[in-house]
Structure 1
Amino acid sequence: MKKFIMITFATMIMFSSGVIVNAKEENAKRVEGGYFSTEDILFSIIEPKLEKIVNDQYGKEMIVNPMKVNDVYFMEKRKSTKGKDTIDGWIELDMIIMVGDRKPNENFKVDAVVLKIDAPNIGGTAPHLVSDKIEGIQVDLVKYYKHK
């Protein structure tokens, strides 16, 4: 599972850079109604939490449309407890989102957000779970930049 998550995030980094412009369309799977890229899959996983974060930032219900992943970072923090060193690992996702009111004819804003994505199998020295279930993924806000 750890390898799957790391490969997924590494792939997202590769597709979000300008170096490989056409690879996204070539590697995306054709399905009825459009294409699904690595970013699309990631957005579908974090969408409920992202919508809650945006609604909390604006204090009301907003339309949220993820646009682009700017960068993905693997973060580590070393801790020393009672002479024993441990490492916590997580992913930080820097992305651009389009935000707007639920009213028609309202102008949309472009905001930036940095999210912390943590799951039991991402980095660190915690015991890794052997399971085929995708659960225990936490998405937390690190920074939020509103368009002015």
Structure 2
Amino acid sequence: MPAEDEAARRSTVGRLLADELGTQRRLALAQGRAVMDAVVEDRVARAVVDALFGTGSLERLLADTTIENICVNGCDVVWVRDDTGSWRRESPVVASDAELVELVRTLAARRIVSDTRPVTAITANSREPSGSCRFRRGMPRSKRRSRH
């Protein structure tokens, strides 16, 4: 049997997720517990899909086409710069510095690409124990000088 292509794998994961979430709903009802809210179910499903096919919790930032730079300094400090040049702090993308190191290794191995604009640079500061890294989107900007 040939290996599934990406679309088939995504379809299989979607089906398995729907089955499991349905099982969890039935179990909760049978045991008299509250069922998971639909919004929470969607977040759980998105987290699983992002972990399997995307970039884990970093996916939400990479999917935002207005973000040009993502700076992760340790597990709990995340800054992004949008296409207007404004910087803002974001919630953490990993729970520990060890997870950040593993995320960077995984992303480098996958040579990550978003649906709309590729990530053109991942830089990691190995001198920092926390393992800071920066993700840059699009083409590097350069200042043009006029020649007179």
TM-score under structure 2 length normalisation: 0.31
Structure ranking higher in strand proportion: 1
- Structure with the greater alpha carbon radius of gyration: 2
TM-score under structure 1 length normalisation: 0.31
Structure ranking higher in helix proportion: 2
Query: Which gives a bigger RCO, structure 1 or 2 (Cα 8 Å, sep 6+)?
Result: 1
